[in-house]
Amino acid sequence: MTYENQREYPVLGTFTGDKKLIIDTPVTLTGSYAAARSAVIPIAMGEQAILNIAYTMGAAETGNSLNFKIEFSTNGVTYHQDISQTTASGAATLYKLEYTFAATGAAGTYDYIRFPLPIAEGYAKIWVKETGIAANGGLCYVTATVSGK
């Protein structure tokens, strides 16, 4: 499918460039979600949105994972997180949905993944953290490609 409009937004990290974003500084990850490692993405005018995520473990780290959660909002103020569920004996238990990506490359080598976002509200907010940190937090940067007519 070809889209008339396609915009790449810098989300996490610092970037230069106008037509093509060039990473300057990735975000250093810690073991908790925090405002410094979160960002809002305007998706209201799109028909499709993709998160482009690059992640590497910190120096001398092994077996770490990138964790992220996504929240959605109609007004850019109040955000709601998607849920997942398990069912046992006819009862459903709901959980706030988080995603985990286990690093496949060595420390210092970026893994590149893409994650589709549903477009049902005007804004999406991504939060990132890392699990398994022994001493050195990993690095991450995120862009969002929003496409539409």
pTM > 0.95: yes or no: no
Least confident of 19-23, 92-96, 112-116: 19-23
Per-residue pLDDT of 88-97, as tens digits, reads: 999 999 999 9
Q: What is the CATH number of the domain that holds 53?
A: 2.60.120.680
Written as six digits, the tokens of 18 are 């106008």
Residue with more model confidence, 66 or 120: 66
Mean pLDDT rounded to a whole number for the chain? 89
Q: Which of 34, 92, 102, 93 is nearest to 66 (CA)?
A: 102
Q: Which amino acid is at 138?
A: G
For residue 134, what are the domain limits? 5-148
- Please state the domain count of the chain: 1
Mean pLDDT computed over 121-139: 94
Paired residues of 12 in beta bridges:
142
